[in-house]
Amino acid sequence: MKKLLSFLLAVTMLMACLPVLSETGDSSQLPNRGSESDLENLLSSGNMVTTILTTPFYEGVTDEDSAGEALETVLEQLGADESTQLMMDSVYTTEDLTYYTFRQMVGDVIVEGASVKLIADPNGTAVCVVSSLLSGLDGAALEAVDLTEEEAESIVAERIQEQPSEVKKGMSHQAVVPFGDESRLVWVVYTDNYFTDVDVGYLAHYVSGSGEYLGATLIATPYSTDVETNSIAELVFMGMESDVWSGEVTLFDGTKRYLAVPVMKDEEGNTYLGDLQRRIICVDYSAWENQEEIEMRTMQDGRFDDGELLIYESIIRAWDFYNEIGWPGGDGKGTPIMLKMDMVDENGAPIHNAYYSNMYAGFQTFAFNRDDRDGETMDVIGHEFTHCVTTTISVDAPYKNDCGAINEALSDIMGNLMEEMLGASDDPDWLIGEAAKNPAWILRCMSNPHLYCQPEHVWDVYYTPAVEVGNDFNDMGGVHTNSSLLNLIAWRLHEAGMAPEDEFDYMMSVILAMTGTITYPDLAVLLPWCLEKAGLDEYMETLRKAIDETGIAEIIPKTIPQGYIMVTASIPGEPPIVGGDLRLVVENEAGGYVTECWPDCRLHSFVLPLPAGTYAFRLIEVESERIWNLTDDGWIEITDLSADEQPAVTCYPFEEGYFYSLPLDGLTENTAADAA
């Protein structure tokens, strides 16, 4: 959060330096006031990497080898070439379909995020392929990595020295990672996630073969067998015996509730909050995070903490719920689970979040704080538990933009359906967190996204642009905001009468069919296919209307909200520069701040819906403190903030219902490159 606060402070200080000088211009002077057809040039090529084939194409898929043979017949259609190598990763079988997942390799090195999933029916017919393969990967042409693992880890350790995080030793590995239009062979080094508002436990840092730090991204699952195999997880349960604790707990609203939960006893008679059968333990967050010591919750004076008891019981209910559909534990393998209780920051203050913190030391781990009553909200617990499910099934899924938003939505949907089927809340509006009976803890409304500042369709007023670099400020490209698009689709199916049991099974089939690079346009293809395979064709019209309503099939904005305008501004450069802290800042006639946005990394443009009115625009690059004002003469850079005379920013009137393209005059390729 320090990074976010410093960024906002920097913007505030820059804005304070700007003189309130404006003159009124005529919107007819702007180069473009037109319709959606004027936006077609925004869409750049080469960004939509997922290919989905939904026509049956091969008979006789019975095992991993025959699945690989089936894939060979369509590799060319998937964009593969002679450099493409595949390695079998996992197989999941349901009553209706079998899902074979292959990772892409270069020699013995993984290509991060690149995978292909073949889906076969019970007759052995290959009925669908979902692919995110990369082509043109010639192992000999990739940059050599002379750096050692220890050197790469030292570079990352120095980079994050001011963050409350550390390098995870023994997890680093080499990988081919796509960066824009090129792919590079790098060291991948993992640390704890130090962003506070996201549900992923790890940051993957990338270091080039020459020792250059290339950046970091949140990632669903570290690719390292060392993370998954650690004998400490099984040692915890040795010598323990099962028992039951029962008693009353006090809920947030003061009411009492009786509950009984499994506990464990050691040979000395100590009682621990843990489940020997399901392999679940509750530990102290700080002891584990700071010293990697397992300090299990023990009974004191015949009691455990009420809030922790409720979290523990709800996790058990989620475990049993998934187990009943044939998915034991969070990862479908029955891997032990660690619940890290009393999550606090470096100052001992509660971190107000709950999250799945990935696989580590042989445990699937989750974290909870002591103040929020998450144990009373089955939808929140189901949400976090589902993150473990989706993380296991997806392959190197980056936690940002559409992929992260879809991840968040599926957790919302499954958690809410779980809550409804277990009778844990009477919630007609599909709120998230309502069962704790504290309005401040309600997070989202799936039936009415605007209620909590989420979009109802792509490029709605609350829609978040896709980002090249994710952080707390941009919500990793809208993972918690744009999740409402799939949430609303799920609500429309519920509203149309789909039974919760059917919808849960349907969404589970969607999770199983996805690859790690799934986008909303991909989902617009996959959702109808999964619905048909689930035998729920009577809801197909509802689904297609919901897809159209939310606009997820397109990334080009085509709908202007009533009373609004849509402002766009392209970024110069070949390729356009979309990273960094370049911001389009909007002001009113009095020079007051209205809002700001960053470039969408897919469209290489700023895209911003605004209420009809009169506005002025500035471009600000925070780190370099460069500022440009939009005037009738184009963009003019302010070269001296202390000067008495500055180029006046021009205010333009904008009429409702139009798309407006801001001019590029004054912004050269060098300007954009220098700024970003």
In this predicted structure, what is the pLDDT of residue 500? 97
On the question of pLDDT at 418 being above 60, the answer is: yes
pLDDT in tens, 136-147: 776 555 666 788
533 in any annotated domain: yes
Q: pLDDT value at position 5? A: 37
Residue 439 pLDDT level (bands cut at 50, 70, 90): confident
- Same domain membership, residue 464 and residue 396: yes
pLDDT of 676 strictly over 50: no
Contact of 327 with 389, CB cutoff 8 Å:
yes
Res. 199: pLDDT tops 70 = no
Residues 423 and 548 in one domain: yes
330, 359, 375: which is the final residue of a domain?
Answer: 375
Kindly state whether residues 354 and 240 are assigned to the same domain. yes
pLDDT tens-digit map of 315-336: 999 999 999 999 999 999 999 9
pLDDT the model gives residue 116: 94
Tell whether the model's pLDDT for residue 214 goes beyond 70.
yes
Which of 10-24, 308-322, 455-469, 549-563 shows the lowest per-residue confidence on average (mean pLDDT)?
A: 10-24
Q: Are strands 444-445 and 593-597 parallel, antiparallel or unpaired?
A: unpaired
Percentage of the chain beyond pLDDT 90 is 53
Q: What is the DSSP string of 390-420?
A: HHHHSSS-BSSHHHHHHHHHHHHHHHHHHHH
- Tell me what the mean pLDDT of segment 650-666 comes to: 86
Distance CA 459, CA 402 (A): 13
In the predicted structure, residue 555 carries a pLDDT above the cut 90 = no
- Tell me the pLDDT band of 672, cut-offs 50, 70 and 90: very low
Structure tokens at 39: 């936006």
pLDDT digits (tens, 9 = 90+) for 453-501: 999 999 999 999 998 878 778 888 999 999 999 999 999 999 999 999 9
Maximum distance among all alpha carbons in the chain?
Answer: 83
The pLDDT of residue 305: 95
Q: Which residue has the higher pLDDT, 20 or 24?
A: 24
pLDDT mean across residues, the chain: 85
Q: Is residue 147 part of a domain?
A: yes
> Is 224 part of any domain?
no
Q: Are residues 457 and 384 in the same domain?
A: yes
- Residue reference for tokens 């991993």: 64
- Concatenated DSSP letters for 496-507? TT--HHHHHHHH
How far is residue 392 from each of residues 32, 228, 359, 516, 615, measured CA to CA in Å? Answer: 47, 11, 9, 11, 47
For the chain, the 3-state helix, strand and coil shares in percent, each to the nearest 5, are 30, 30, 40
Residues 189 and 333 in one domain: no
Give the CATH number of the domain where residue 192 resides.
Answer: 3.10.450
491 and 454 share one domain: yes
Q: What is the mean pLDDT of residues 98-104?
A: 95
Residue 422, sorted as left (phi over 0), alpha (psi -120 to 50) or beta, turns out to be alpha
Residue 111 lies in a domain: yes
Is 496 within a domain?
A: yes
**pLDDT, tens digit (0-9, with 9 covering 90-100), for 592-617:** 999 988 888 888 888 999 999 999 99
Instruction: Average the pLDDT over 544-567 and give the result.
Output: 90
- Do 651 and 563 lie in one domain? The reply is yes
CA distances from 430 to 315, 434, 491, 508 (A): 20, 9, 8, 19
User: Does residue 359 have a pLDDT over 60?
Assistant: yes
| Domain co-membership, 185 together with 55 | no
Residue 404 belongs to domain with CATH number: 1.10.390.10
- pLDDT digits 0-9 by tens, 145-176: 788 999 999 999 999 888 878 888 888 988 88
Q: Please report the pLDDT score of residue 26 as a whole number.
A: 52
pLDDT at 35 exceeding the cut of 50: no
pLDDT at residue 545 tops 60: yes
59: nearest Cα among 73, 48, 47? 73
Residue that is written with structure tokens 């292909």 in the block = 116
Residue 284, domain extent: 229-375
pLDDT score for 152: 94
Considering the domain architecture, whether residues 397 and 545 belong to the same structural domain is answered as yes
d(CA 485, CA 513): 19
Q: Indicate whether 362 and 381 sit together in one domain.
A: no
Domain termination residue (choose one: 520, 553, 586): 553
Is the pLDDT at 237 greater than 90? The verdict is: yes
> SS3 letters for 103-141?
EEEECCEEEEEEEEEEEECCCCCEEEEEECCCCCCCHHH
Q: What's the mean pLDDT in 383-405? A: 90
* Dist CA 580 CA 300 (whole Å): 51
> Could you tell me if 199 and 114 lie in one domain?
no
User: Which of 211-225, 270-284, 292-306, 528-542 is the least confident region?
Assistant: 211-225
User: Where does a domain end: 327, 353, 375?
Assistant: 375
Average of pLDDT values for 274-297? Answer: 94
pLDDT above 80 (res 503) = yes
Q: Is residue 271, in this structure, part of any structural domain at all?
A: yes
- How many domains does the chain fold into? 5
Residues 127 and 67 placed together within one structural domain of the fold: yes
Mean pLDDT, residues 255-267 taken together: 95
pLDDT score of 292: 84
Q: Which region, left, alpha or beta, applies to residue 94 given φ > 0 means left and ψ of -120 to 50 means alpha?
A: beta
Question: Lowest mean pLDDT: which of 378-382, 608-612, 620-624?
Answer: 620-624
